[in-house]
Amino acid sequence: MHELSVAMSIADLALDEARKAEAKQIKELEVEIGEWAGVDSEGLLFSLDAVLKSNPVLRHTKVTLRKHSPLMHCGSCHSDFRPKAPYIRQCERCGAENVELLHGRELSLKSLTIDD
């Protein structure tokens, strides 16, 4: 279950920022996750809950998880579209193979709120 190691990394990042700000408590974490990030969001929330409870600075932290659907852009016809499957490599509008994934694989600690 790699969600636990992801949760631990998120907690470490948050604690580093809390130390820099000399904060006594982290009130909230906002995490962004794409549907194609390869992380189970429910497993991540479960793991984050366990990790946060084990640290006094994080014990009462609220976690907000923002999920992002995949979004692709076609460089030929300039349309944006939501692909139906991860293996889609053609524009759904014009059929061109000049497509780029804009969103869907992100996994990041977007923000945190601290209590001085």
Q: What is the pTM of this model?
A: 0.84
- Determine the Cα–Cα distance for residues 104 and 116; give it in Å rounded to an integer: 34
Residue 10: CATH number of its domain: 3.30.2320.50
Span 51-109, pLDDT tens digits: 999 999 999 999 999 999 999 999 999 999 999 888 888 999 999 999 999 999 999 99
- Determine the Cα–Cα distance for residues 86 and 109; give it in Å rounded to an integer: 24
Domain count, the chain: 1
Domain of 26, in residue numbers: 2-69+103-115
| Cα-to-chain-centroid distance, residue 14 | 14
